[in-house]
Each structure stands twice: as structure tokens, then as C-alpha cells.
Structure 1
């Protein structure tokens, strides 16, 4: 079925670009392609795709530079970074250059398609996904937490962590499972990095981060999102 959605696939690996583009065309998306940074900027500004799949490492300009320039020139649509290096994911948060989400290589094509479908629902103004807990509302599509009518921005990683916990309320989640879910299966992050993100997230959702009501530590195992 043809979807009225245009996706730009920006990837210098010709084989991967073909595989992704071919699969997404079969899913009904209109595809435009580029293989380097400058070509990507020209293409996206001219074509105005709904979603950009953008490789991190490219000749000429890195994905971060491409994203920054596109945002500075007024492009506001979804940009999803494709990265092979899990350690780069912290840079995606730290640099804050305007990426909407990310997917780690090598990725399962079905997972990529499902991720894009969730973005498309948001684009088409279907009922947005959100979860409520306590006096808060999590809006994952815009990386935000609404608390007492005030909006708090979440980093990409905080957003993914909270979304996973809200999908698994009251379940004990091991650190390994959480790292696999958030960083991807080729991840080489350590538990200290995970714990640091948990601390930052607690400061945003808890009344007292030192005595968390929701995001609780299960000693020797991992964490549990508590909501009775």
C-alpha cells in the first residue's frame, strides 16, 4: 500500500543504502537517497522529506554536521541517526544538534520498519502515544515529560529508558536487559553509564531523587518502575 510519506536515506555504504531503500519502498514509502554529507543537505532542503535516516559517519560531513546545518536552515521534520558506534550515542545527547532519534547498526530491518511506523503515526496526527503516572504524562514522540502543566525535555536516552520502564511497570528489569533495549545489541556501554542516566532521569521524575517513588533500585539485579 502506497503511503504518502517521503523518507530520505542518507548512507555512503551503497549496499546498505540499497537494502534499506528497497525494503522501505516495498513498505509503500517514497524514497530519495544521498551518499555524502553535502549531497544530503541539498537533497533534504530540496525534497523536504517527512523523515531523514542519516548515517553518522560519512565522507565530507559527519551526520552531526549535516543535522546541525539542516536545523539551522529551518528543517524541522524527523531526523533519525544511524550509528555503528554505541559510544557515539552519548555524543548524540551531549551535542544536542537536533537529532530526533537513533538506530544502531547492524539493525534488524523489521525493527527499523516498526520504528518508522510509530513515527509515521505521529506525523499523520493519529492519536499520539503517551503514558500517565503520578501527576506526570510522558510524551515519547516529542521527548517530553509534562508535570503539573510544565514541560521537561528528555534526552534521547532518558526518553528510551522511561518508555521501556512504562511498558514494563512493576517488573524487575536487569541492567543487561535495559542496556540491550536502550543502547542496542551491539552495545559496549557499561553499567556505570546506565546508572548515570538513571540518576539524571530520577531528578526529572521524582519529588526526591534520593528516595525514589517510581524508579527504584533492586539490589544486585537492576531496577523496577513502581506504580501501584
Structure 2
């Protein structure tokens, strides 16, 4: 069944590009593809795909440059960066060049498909821009708007906040949150999660020590309160 969702794959490894294209077409997506950065900019701006899968390392122009250029020219849809396993997602300057999310290579094709389905459901079709308090979250472009001010979110903070906003007023266990944000093969621990929660609270709460929104549920995890 055609999903009416257009995905562009920008990847210079022909074998990987073929495999991803084949799988996504089988899933019912309309797939566009190219192998270099200069062509990618033209393709994205002309075809306006719902989702771009963009390799970090490309001939002619790096993925980060492609991303920054199309954002500057008004492209606001989802851009998922394909990165090396060694790259720390918190060190990717997502806000400045506008990447929405990332997936590490080599990736499991089923995990990639599940990630894309989640993006299609919550971001592409719903065009999520969720308001809470005096803030508005724009997940595609890493924008948290508070008053007239833009607040920078890292990729992981963006993932965490989006998951809470999709599950407002529900108690979320630490295990579920870690699985959702870091994935199956992660060796992340609860201290790392709690550190990210502290950082996120500093950006969204009036008093991070007594949070109105992102509340701790003792012995279980967290709850995003928006009632």
C-alpha cells in the first residue's frame, strides 16, 4: 500500500543506498536517491521530501553543509543524519545546522523502518508543534520557542522532550525512556538519563528544582504534567 510519504536517501555507498531504497519501496514509501552533496541540495529543494536520510560523509559537500543550506532556504521537514558509530550524538551540533535526528551506521533495517514509521506518524502527518505553558516545541528544526526566544536543544534532549509530549500525563519508566531515546544496543545507564533530564529541566522549567512539567515519579521514572 502506498503511504504517500516521500523519502530522499542521500548516500554515496551504492550498495547501502540500494538496500535501503529496496526496503523502503517494499514498505510502500516513494523513494528518491542521490549519492553526492551538491545533487542532494537540488533534490531536496525541488522534490521537498517528507523525510531526508542524509549521510554525514559525502563527496562534494558534507551532510552538515547540505542540511544547513536547505534549512537556510526554507526546508523544514524531517532530516535524519546517518552517522558513524563513534560519533557522540550530543556532540553533533544539531541546532546550528538543523538536523532533526540521527541513526548510527551500521544500522538494523527493521530499526530504521520503525524509526521512520514513528516520524511519519507523529511528525510528518500530525505536523507536531506542541504547546505547553508558554513554550512551543518544533521537533523537526530543534526549536523550543519560549516567548520570542529560541532555545537550543541537543538531539537527545529533542528526542526525550518529543517522547514526553507524545505521552503527556502518563508515567514513563526509566527503562522505557532509555529504550526509546538510545535504542536497543545502548549501554546507557540511568545516571546518563538523569543527567539529560536535569539539563532539559533547566531549559523548560521556571524552577528546575521544583519542576512544573517534567516531574519525577519516585521509584518508577518520570511524568510530563500538562494539565
TM range (shorter): 0.7 to 0.9
Q: d(CA) in 2 for partners of 1:95 and 1:123? A: 17
1:34-55, Cα deviation, whole Å (9 max, x unpaired):
1222232233234332321101
Contact 2:174 / 2:190 at 8 angstroms: preserved in 1? no
CA distance in 2 between counterparts of 1:118 and 1:27 reads 14
Partner of 1:211: 210
Shift in alpha-carbon separation, 1:29–1:196, aligned structure 2, 3 A: same
Please give the alpha-carbon distance, in whole angstroms, between the structure 1 residues aligned to 2:56 and 2:183.
16
The equivalent of 2:72 in structure 1 is: 72
- Rate the CA distance shift 1:209–1:17 in 2: closer, same or farther, 3 A: same
The alpha carbon displacement at 1:191 in A equals 6.6
The alignment's TM-score, normalised by the length of structure 2, stands at 0.73
Determine the C-alpha separation between the residues in 1 that align with 2:211 and 2:192.
Answer: 19
Deviations for 1:92-122, whole angstroms, at most 9, x for unmatched residues?
Answer: 3455201122223333323322332343346
Contact 2:6 2:30 in 1 (8 A): yes
CA shift for structure 1 position 205: 3.2
Give the TM-score, by structure 1 length: 0.72
For residues 134 and 38 of structure 2, the distance between their equivalents in structure 1, rounded to whole angstroms, comes to 45
Farther-moved stretch of structure 1 (3-12 vs 41-50): 41-50
On the 8 A contact 2:159/2:181 being kept in 1, the answer is: yes
Distance 2:152 2:99 in 1: 13
How far 1:135 moved relative to its partner? Answer: 8.2
How many Å apart are 1:31 and its aligned residue? 1.5
Structure 1 position 22, deviation (Å)? 0.5
- Measure the CA separation in 2 of the matches of 1:28 and 1:48: 18
Residue of structure 2 equivalent to 1:225: 223
| Structure 2 CA distance for aligned equivalents of residues 6 and 18 of structure 1 | 16
Q: Give the deviation of 1:80 after TM superposition.
A: 1.4
Q: Which residue of 1 aligns with 2:119?
A: 119
Count of residues paired in the alignment: 223
In terms of mean alpha carbon deviation, does 196-205 or 18-27 score higher?
A: 196-205
- Given that 2:6 and 2:32 are in contact with CA atoms closer than 8 Å, whether structure 1 keeps it comes out as yes
Instruction: Look up the SS of the partner of 1:53 in the other structure.
Output: strand
Cα deviation 1:169-215 (Å, max 9, x = unaligned): 334415xx644532344557677764443222112333311233554
Match of 2:48 in 1: 48
- Tell me what 1:100 maps to: 100
Tell me which residue corresponds to 1:200: 199
My pick for the range that moved more, 191-200 or 60-69, is 191-200
Cα distance, 1:216–1:83 mapped onto 2, change above 3 Å: same
1:61 deviates by: 2.5
SS in 1 for 2:18: helix
| Residue 133 of structure 1, CA deviation | 7.3
